[in-house]
Structure 1
Amino acid sequence: MSTEILMTPETLRPPPATTALPAPRRRGFLRQVAIDTGYALASFPLAIVAFVVVVTGLSVGAGLLVIWVGVAVLALTLVAARGLATAERAWLPSVLRRELPRPAYRRAEGSPLRRLLTPLRDAQSWLDALHALIRFPFAILAFVVTVTFWSVALGGLTYGAWDWTLPDASTTPDNEDLLELLGQESTAGRRILFYALIGLAFALVLPFAVRGVAVLQAQLGRALLTSRAAAQEQIDRATQGRDAAVAAEAVALRRLERDIHDGPQQHLVRLGMDLARAQRQLDRDPAAARSTLGEAAGLAREALEELRALSRGIAPPVLADRGLAAALAALAARSPVPVELAVDLPAERLAPVTENTAYFVVSEALANVAKHSGAQLCRVGVSRDDGTLRVVVEDDGTGGAVAAPGHGLAGLTDRLRAADGALTVDSPRGGPTRLTAEVPLA
């Protein structure tokens, strides 16, 4: 069940689909079989080299530690393991059909001794060496399975072309083929049919067998060679989100302070002065006192309206009471620029942080449209798509908006980043301007 709100009879143009993360690679079936086969065949000699280099280097380095030469040997071994791991990482995106993060190694800095010890202090270098040791049996398995399935499939399917080259029982009495070992009569036609069926069976299973062993080996590489980088990326995103939240909160507080100082505070100061004047006028000039009190009442109403407007910008009661759709409808109704609103959301409420972020985006975007765009019409679309809340605000104004530090959209970018969201701005000179905000659903 979904909620639909249309502020005008026109239908909002659907926003273009965008994704924050790269989509999985799509490729042909035969091409993937070729990639998996090449990976299994090429990784076997590479695994042998890596295993020999790392085992030898670690053994020699550990044995020579007593005379400090072992430190250099261990460092060189880890550098070699890094190079071999880099070659392995080059294969992983093609086999796993998705992009993978690349780890950042520790930089060599400081004195020559400290630079020499840099690989020994780098955790990823040791993971590269561990991968060279653990990968070896998986590479053997992948190589054996791949060669076996390809050999049997090709040999069986082409058996009819080379059966005549093999000796038979008439020329070599001790020679027996598989049919004779199974107790069956062996003729040329029966042999060709029998081996062709075996080759066909292996050919049908081959893509899945080769894919299985290739993915098994690639997943080991992903776990040891890229998982630490993925974890670091998550930490970096969390840090950026925290910094963005702090920056957005500071900007919001400064703006709130400015708005209170320029609006309600001025009215309240004037109100206090009018009340004091009315108190002095009360005995000697009651009529003037009543006029002053009337002005004070007007100032009080204006201050109250401004405070209500400020509270709506922070956390409107309608958002907490009736949800995002109703809050956006109220926001669109108050906009000085006509707004065409389309909201397609499920009946159940979204997470408070998601609703607050979406409301803030629309509120700030409509404020920017009213102040800077010169637009005659604004379109707002809100929908849920694959675990993401997408908010699109488009106007027919002059364009030229940029989401750069120091510009008005920087606060929106920080607010979305704090919620692990993203903002895309498409605003060529001359318009139109389209803001697309994506917020993950909690």
Structure 2
Amino acid sequence: MTTTHAGAAPTRSPAGKLRQLGIDTQYVLLGFPIALVTLVLGLTGFAVGVSTAVIWIGLPLLAGTLMMSRGFAMAERARISPVLGRRIPQPIYRNSRGKGAFRRLVGPFTDGQYWLDLLHGVFRLVPNVLGFCFVLTWWAGTLSGLTWWLWGWTIPQGPNDQDLPGLLGLGSTYLNRSLFYLAMGVFFAGTLFWVVRWSALLEAKFAQGLLIGAYELRRQVTDAEEARDLARQQKAAAVSAEAVALRKLERDIHDGPQQRLVRLAMDLGRAEQKFADDPEHARALVAEALTQTRETLDELRALSRGIAPPILVDRGLQAALTALAGRCTVPVDLDAPPLERLDPGVESTAYFVVAEALTNVAKHSHANEVQVSVQRIATGLIVTVSDDGVGGASLAKGHGLAGLDDRVRAAGGVLAVDSREGEGTRLTAALPL
């Protein structure tokens, strides 16, 4: 496995280091003649183009120089990818196609990336010469030092060397020279990878800064703006979902339990008045009040399903969905394997998705069966509710699922509905973890 850190050598196996050494060496050595070509062509084209721009001849020449710089820059981005160990994106240049000839001609002048490409082509020789000298010196020192014993004997010896007997009949000066070259070769070989690596990174980082630095900065700004817009949308969706839930709860309480409690109070008051004169009638009123109490409790339990139940908090999502499926008037096939405890917001949203979906199935779908599935994937939670009813559900405003869509988006998720007329409904919520 390879891990690369900016500005440092990657952690590699010996074979990986040898491969990277070859990549870095060819990058630096081949970059030297390319840098000479881009320097000459860039400076010549720019100087001639600017000096003749007053008579309009220089504009096409200057535009051609910028286009040439773009071509060299695209090739350089491909060359630095294996050096940096990551894919280098090609920036998006301003498109002048389909416009007039003059606008196509001056189009490169208005795109800052063209000028950065030209700047790199002119000044890339500065870091390349430095790296080229180091790489050439270290390779020469390594090869000459480690192979001295193969070719050093071919160098003629001086008269003093032949007068001094030494090992194997050779002069002692030759032996000392051999040891010196061997030590030099070991030193250069031991530091070769690091010197070549840093030389290649010096040139590659210079190219990265000019050729993709501005593009990556713009992309980071764009990503930050998109994240900000998404956060605003989630906040608006959360506010909308909360407002809809509060209005619905208020309306349901006003239309249901509140009216029953008013009638209950009136019945109990009438019963109190009748106890002395008409006990039988009073007992009937009390019995009716008890019936009203039970119905009010049933309605309050139904309304409390819109609030996270204690079983969800205490025992988790699987137990809460099991209880929810057991109360549904339509048979439910529940597929919810045991899950570790998730973020409370995710569990609550998943519960409300299933609760609202089962409520809609019971009220509107005329379905014979409903299937509920909860799956944990690497990036989140997938909740699916499907039935064999009449279909026709929609996420559009004014429909029953619009508030549920707001709740899911507020949690950072996505809600999708497939509900063709007569073919049932399939509701899928993807919630991030």
Residue deviations 1:151-190 (CA, integer Å, cap 9, x gap):
11101111121123323324999xxxxxxxxxxx763333
Match of 1:63 in 2: 51
State the distance in 2 between where 1:206 and 1:396 align.
59
Match of 1:36 in 2: 24
DSSP-derived class of the 1:47 partner: helix
Instruction: Say whether 1:212 aligns with 2:198.
Output: yes
Residue deviations 1:102-127 (CA, integer Å, cap 9, x gap):
31111114322222222111121122
Match of 1:222 in 2: 208
Match of 1:161 in 2: 150
State the distance in 2 between where 1:114 and 1:145 align.
46
Match of 1:189 in 2: 175
**Using a 3 Å threshold, how does the CA distance of structure 1 residues 235 and 26 change in structure 2: closer, same or farther?**
farther
Match of 1:93 in 2: 81
State the distance in 2 between where 1:290 and 1:262 align.
31
Note if contact 1:72-1:116 (Cα within 8 Å) is conserved in structure 2: yes
Cα shift at 1:414:
5.6
Selected match of 2:121 from 111, 132, 154: 132
**Using a 3 Å threshold, how does the CA distance of structure 1 residues 210 and 366 change in structure 2: closer, same or farther?**
farther
State the distance in 1 between where 2:253 and 2:288 align.
14
Selected match of 2:70 from 78, 82, 93: 82
Residue deviations 1:58-104 (CA, integer Å, cap 9, x gap):
22222223223333332222211111111111122211112333311
Match of 1:115 in 2: 104
**Using a 3 Å threshold, how does the CA distance of structure 1 residues 257 and 395 change in structure 2: closer, same or farther?**
closer
Amino acid of the structure 1 residue aligned with 2:26: G
- List alignment gaps of at least 5 residues for structure 2: 1-9, 163-170, 274-281, 323-333, 359-369, 387-393, 396-400, 415-427
State the distance in 2 between where 1:232 and 1:417 align.
25
Selected match of 1:142 from 115, 131, 145: 131
DSSP-derived class of the 2:89 partner: coil
State the distance in 2 between where 1:436 and 1:156 align.
64
DSSP-derived class of the 1:340 partner: coil
What TM-score, normalized by structure 2, do the two folds share?
0.65
Note if contact 1:275-1:292 (Cα within 8 Å) is conserved in structure 2: no
Selected match of 1:342 from 317, 340, 343: 340
Selected match of 1:360 from 334, 345, 349: 345
Note if contact 2:380-2:431 (Cα within 8 Å) is conserved in structure 1: yes
Cα shift at 1:193:
2.6
State the distance in 1 between where 2:313 and 2:229 align.
28
**Using a 3 Å threshold, how does the CA distance of structure 1 residues 99 and 310 change in structure 2: closer, same or farther?**
farther
State the distance in 2 between where 1:186 and 1:213 align.
38
Cα shift at 1:47:
1.3
State the distance in 2 between where 1:98 and 1:89 align.
11
Cα shift at 1:192:
2.4
State the distance in 1 between where 2:410 and 2:150 align.
70
Percent identity over the alignment is 31
Relative contact order, higher structure (CA 8 A, sep 6+): 1
Cα shift at 1:212:
0.7
Instruction: Say whether 1:202 aligns with 2:188.
Output: yes
**Using a 3 Å threshold, how does the CA distance of structure 1 residues 53 and 296 change in structure 2: closer, same or farther?**
farther
Selected match of 1:241 from 227, 239, 243: 227
Cα shift at 1:39:
0.7
DSSP-derived class of the 1:342 partner: coil
Residue deviations 1:286-319 (CA, integer Å, cap 9, x gap):
7687677666656765666566654549xx9x9x
Amino acid of the structure 2 residue aligned with 1:216: L
State the distance in 2 between where 1:332 and 1:278 align.
38
Note if contact 1:267-1:300 (Cα within 8 Å) is conserved in structure 2: no
DSSP-derived class of the 2:340 partner: strand
- List alignment gaps of at least 5 residues for structure 1: 1-23, 174-184, 319-325, 344-354, 382-389, 399-404, 423-432
Cα shift at 1:368:
5.8
**Using a 3 Å threshold, how does the CA distance of structure 1 residues 214 and 58 change in structure 2: closer, same or farther?**
same
Cα shift at 1:333:
4.5
Residue deviations 1:229-271 (CA, integer Å, cap 9, x gap):
2223223323333343444455556655665666652342234
Note if contact 1:127-1:225 (Cα within 8 Å) is conserved in structure 2: yes
Note if contact 1:95-1:214 (Cα within 8 Å) is conserved in structure 2: yes
Instruction: Say whether 1:49 aligns with 2:47.
Output: no
State the distance in 2 between where 1:160 and 1:292 align.
115
DSSP-derived class of the 2:124 partner: helix
Greater gyration radius: 2
**Using a 3 Å threshold, how does the CA distance of structure 1 residues 396 and 330 change in structure 2: closer, same or farther?**
closer
Whichever structure has more helix as a proportion of its residues is 2
State the distance in 2 between where 1:265 and 1:74 align.
72
Cα shift at 1:31:
0.5
Match of 1:6 in 2: none
Note if contact 1:108-1:114 (Cα within 8 Å) is conserved in structure 2: yes
State the distance in 1 between where 2:409 and 2:338 align.
26
Cα shift at 1:33:
0.6
Amino acid of the structure 2 residue aligned with 1:234: Q
Amino acid of the structure 2 residue aligned with 1:71: L
**Using a 3 Å threshold, how does the CA distance of structure 1 residues 101 and 257 change in structure 2: closer, same or farther?**
same
Note if contact 1:264-1:303 (Cα within 8 Å) is conserved in structure 2: no
State the distance in 2 between where 1:29 and 1:301 align.
74
What TM-score, normalized by structure 1, do the two folds share?
0.64
DSSP-derived class of the 2:41 partner: helix
